[in-house]
Structures are given as C-alpha cells and as structure tokens.
Amino acid sequence: MALIWQESRIVAAAPETPRVRRLTLAVGWDRPFRAGQHVDVRLTAPDGYQAQRSYSIASSPTRPEAIDLLIERLDDGEVSGFFSDVAEPGDAIELRGPIGGAFVWEPAQGGPLLLVGGGSGVVPLLAMLRHRAEAAPDVPALLLYSARTAADVIARDELIRRDSGEPGFGLRLALTREPGGRRIDAARIGESLAALGAPAHTFVCGSNPFVSAVSDLLVDAGVPAATIRTERFGGETP
Amino acid sequence: MVTRGFTGRRPPRPEAERLPPGQYLTEDFPVLQLGPTPRIDPARWSFTLREGSKPLKSWTWAEFEALPRTRWKGDIHCVTKWSKFDTAWEGVTIDDLLAAAGIAAPTAYLLAEGYDDYTTNVPVADLTEGKAMVATRYAGEPITPDHGGPARLLVPHLYFWKSAKWVKGLRFTKVDEAGFWELRGYHMYGDPWREQRFTGD
C-alpha cells in the first residue's frame, strides 16, 4: 500500500508544557493507525524549498479522524520552530502516514505492558496507554517516565489521574533536575518490574543515550531482549 | 503546496547538492534499531554465506579479520531523514568475500541477516563491484555495538536500513524476498536519490 501525501488541517493547538505544543490535525486515512506509529510532515516554502520531519502520534486510535502531535521546540529547530511559533488552527500541513510496524502495541497483544520514556520520547507511549485505557483496561501497564522537572512532564494531569483512577495502570516519574531527583537506574527498573510483574512487551523511547542505558538495564534485569522494542531520536538527554 | 508562514533554512549550496530530497544534515551519528543492542562475543562470532538454508562458506572472527581490507569514505542517508557526510569505514568488500569463498554469487538477490534476527534485502548487483562491504571499523576504530559492531553491512548508496547492523551472514535467494522493514511498508529497493522511502514511492 502506497503512502500518499495529504493535506491535513490543523483543528486545534495548545501548549502542553513550556517547551511542547500540542497540534491536532484532521486526517482522512484509508486504514486505521496503531498506537506507537508516526507520521511524516513536509513543509514547503514559497520558492519550493521543502523540509521533512517525523513525529509520533500521541492520541489513541479510537479517535481515527484526528491525530495529536506533541512537538518539542528544539534550539534552532527549523521545523519545530515553525510548529511552535507560526502554525495555527486552520492551516493546512502536508502529511503522510501512518508509518511504522515494529514500535506498535495493539490490545490483542495483551500485557503486562512496560513503557519507559525519556523526555518527549513519552509521546508514542501516551498513544499506547490511552488506547489501553479505552480498549483493554484489564491489561496491566506501567509507565516509567524520566523528565527534567515536574513542569516538563507531558500530559502530567492526565497521567496522575490515570495513576489514581485506573486499576492496573501505574505511573513512576523520575525527575532528574528536581531536588533529590534521580535518573532511571537499576534500582528504579527493579522496583518497576516488581510492581508490574514480568512484562510481555516493553517499549522504550527517548534520546539515544537514554534508550541505550535503559535497554541495557532491562536486559541486565532479565527482561528478554526479544520482548523489548526501542525508538530513538537525537537531542539532549532529560 | 506552499505552507503558510514557512520560510525554512536552506543549507549552503555545496551541502544542499549532496543532500538527497527530504534529507537534512546531521553532525552526530543517530542510532536506530528495533530493540536492545545484542551482546556479541567475538569468540563466538561467525559470518556465513548461504544459498537458501545451505551454508556455502563461513569465517570466524580471526579468519574474517585476515581477509583483504578496503577503506571507503562518503555520505550516508537514513530514511528517518538524517544524512551524515564523509563517514569513513573499513572492511571487506563483497567482491573480496566471494573471491575468498571461491564462488560467484549463486543468485541475483540476497537477504542480509543480523544477530538480532533483523533481515533486509539487497540485489547482488548493488553489493558487488566495490559498491558494498562488511565493515568492521568506523573512523579508524572498531565499530561500537550501538552502531552495529563488531561487523555491519555497508551499502551507502541505499537508505541506511539496508546496511544491516550486527550482520551474521548473507543468504542468497532465488527471488527478491522482503526483509523486516520491507514487509512493513518500506521500499523494496530504497534509493535515497529517488526518495524511495515507502512502498509505491
């Protein structure tokens, strides 16, 4: 099946954290997307110059007609700067997707489900835990999420509400730049595995060094490598 | 379609001419892989040429390191849109591998196979005549595990998912069989200059 470029309309925009903006785009795809997948976007200047980037989908596949992208402003970011400062509801953006067939979770895969995110690497994991809550609330799931400060936690209110309100879902925050803050280490991985039980599927997303460190810790803790899926992006470590 | 309010930041001309469509230049070396980096003991490493399931020739690490070596320097392009210029690799060309095995390629296609069970398909014609190697050194040093060490395929004229990390062998196939990503919607050939990212591109 070919992936064709389509014009998508921005239907809503709102700040998510001081550095992250949420854009909701209407899509008319001929196939459902799966939690964890991403889209490619293509911006075109008046002289024909184009820039492309990939962004993970944050919203649940249970709302197929629109997707949320959470775009972190990167220092000097050519495309993230445009989405942070210029793009507004009503604008049309060229987009194609859904893309990716390895870093995906569907309710039929079951659990327990261990999600480990660093910084904006939490975005595809949000799609998974949102889909789980709607379609498979009996699947045990735990999100271990490393961010710099409490203000940088994407979807913080929602995650705290799910943690207290959803049996079977647990949230563990690792705030690296708060007083007494700690990184994800072997002890933190061990606590999460003890709370969740042996995960059937583990998804790790974040910066390159974050994903390398976390996947090594998981393998050291006895999680079978074949059950761990990773996705990485450039940029700073939280 | 012009995007309202987007002006963009064009790379300088010599850089722009080296970038395939839709790519941008990166100075660091991003890592992309399906899962954790496999832990490979060089004492148990081997590299095998197969025709279907039949082994044709196998090398231990010591034997592989004794094969003729070739250096290559140039640009690489990842389907996730980064390109990196002037990367320097050293390894054994596929021509030298076939010569050392004393065989000609038995079919026109193959699947590169990784220790992580990753596979990717490449036509043999895109690997021979100096176009590809099994690389064991990057920038003068052994390739680190995150970048596919101890040995990875290097097919720099195709998108970099074709350059399988942690490669353990090449399996010749009668027909062009799809590998891991090719089964999941990515292009069977993957020429960055024709922007062959996905099926149908």
B152 confidence band (pLDDT: 50, 70, 90): very high
Of B6, B184, B201, Cβ closest to residue A45:
B6
A213 confidence band (pLDDT: 50, 70, 90): very high
A109 confidence band (pLDDT: 50, 70, 90): very high
Considering only residues A237 and B138, tell me which one the structure prediction assigns the higher pLDDT.
Answer: B138
3-state helix, strand, coil in chain B (%, to 5): 20, 35, 50
Confirm if B164 and B119 have CB atoms less than 8 A apart: yes
CB pairs under 8 A between A and B: 111
* Residue A234 confidence (pLDDT): 58
When pLDDT is averaged across residues B97-117 and rounded to a whole number, the result is 97
* Residue A148 confidence (pLDDT): 96
Strands (E), chain B: 24-25, 46-51, 54-60, 70-77, 82-93, 109-114, 119-123, 133-138, 141-142, 152-154, 167-173
A235 confidence band (pLDDT: 50, 70, 90): very low
- Over 50: is that where the pLDDT of A116 sits? yes
Burial class (CB in 10 A: 0-12, 13-18, 19+), A232: buried
Q: Does domain A6-99 fall into CATH 1.10.260.40? A: no
Burial class (CB in 10 A: 0-12, 13-18, 19+), A72: buried
Mutation for B interface: A212, A214, A228, most B CBs within 10 A = A212
* Residue A238 confidence (pLDDT): 28
Distance from CA of B37 to the nearest CA of A (A): 8
Q: Does domain A107-233 fall into CATH 3.40.50.80? A: yes
Distance from CA of B79 to the nearest CA of A (A): 10
Q: Collect all residues of chain B within an 8 Å Cβ-Cβ radius of residue A51.
A: 6, 8, 24
Distance from CA of A149 to the nearest CA of B (A): 25
Q: What percent of chain B has pLDDT over 90?
A: 92
Of A99, A212, A230, Cβ closest to residue B34:
A230
Tens digits of per-residue pLDDT, A40-69? 999 999 999 999 999 999 999 999 999 999
* Residue A181 confidence (pLDDT): 85
**Measured between CB atoms, does B87 come within 8 Å of chain A?**
no
Q: What percent of chain A has pLDDT over 70?
A: 97
A76 confidence band (pLDDT: 50, 70, 90): confident
User: What is this structure's pTM?
Assistant: 0.94
B150 confidence band (pLDDT: 50, 70, 90): very high
* Residue A30 confidence (pLDDT): 86
Q: Collect all residues of chain B within an 8 Å Cβ-Cβ radius of residue A212.
A: 31, 37, 146
DSSP-assigned beta bridge partners for residue A205: A117, A231
Of A3, A46, A211, Cβ closest to residue B198:
A3
Q: What is the mean pLDDT of chain B?
A: 96
B32 confidence band (pLDDT: 50, 70, 90): confident
> Please, where are the H alpha helices in A51-110?
78-85
- Over 90: is that where the pLDDT of A123 sits? yes
Strands B167-173 and B46-51: parallel
Which residue in chain B is spatially nearest to A229 when comparing CA positions? Answer: B35
Of A43, A53, A218, Cβ closest to residue B3:
A43
Of A73-82, A222-231, B84-93, B120-129, which range is least confident? A73-82
Which residue in chain B is spatially nearest to A213 when comparing CA positions? Answer: B36
Q: What percent of chain A has pLDDT over 90?
A: 91
- Over 80: is that where the pLDDT of B149 sits? yes
B118 confidence band (pLDDT: 50, 70, 90): very high
Q: What single letter denotes the amino acid at residue B171?
A: R
* Residue B33 confidence (pLDDT): 86
**Do B198 and A50 make contact, defined as CB atoms within 8 angstroms?**
no
Collapse the DSSP code of A86 into the 3-class scheme (helix H, G, I; strand E, B; otherwise coil) and give the result: coil
- The dihedral built from the CA positions of residue A224, A230, A235 and A238, taken in this order, carries a sign that is negative
**Measured between CB atoms, does A71 come within 8 Å of chain B?**
no
d(CA B134, CA B166): 10
CA atoms within 13 A on the CB side of A7: 9
Q: What is the mean pLDDT of chain A?
A: 95
- What is this model's ipTM? 0.91
* Residue B3 confidence (pLDDT): 97
When pLDDT is averaged across residues A80-91 and rounded to a whole number, the result is 97
- Over 50: is that where the pLDDT of A236 sits? no
**Domain ranges in chain A?**
6-99, 107-233
Burial class (CB in 10 A: 0-12, 13-18, 19+), A173: middle
- Over 60: is that where the pLDDT of B63 sits? yes
Quickly count helices (H) and strands (E) in chain A: 5, 11
Neighbour count for residue A207 (Cβ, 10 Å): 22
When pLDDT is averaged across residues A183-190 and rounded to a whole number, the result is 96
Q: Collect all residues of chain A within an 8 Å Cβ-Cβ radius of residue B198.
A: 2-3, 99
Q: What is the end-to-end Cα distance of chain B in Å, rounded?
A: 18
- Over 60: is that where the pLDDT of A93 sits? yes
**Measured between CB atoms, does B16 come within 8 Å of chain A?**
no
Of B5, B8, B80, Cβ closest to residue A78:
B8
Taken in order of first residue, the domains within chain B and their CATH numbers are 46-194 (3.90.420.10)
- Over 60: is that where the pLDDT of B127 sits? yes
**Measured between CB atoms, does A215 come within 8 Å of chain B?**
yes
Collapse the DSSP code of B62 into the 3-class scheme (helix H, G, I; strand E, B; otherwise coil) and give the result: helix
| Radius of gyration for the alpha carbons in chain B, expressed in angstroms and rounded | 17
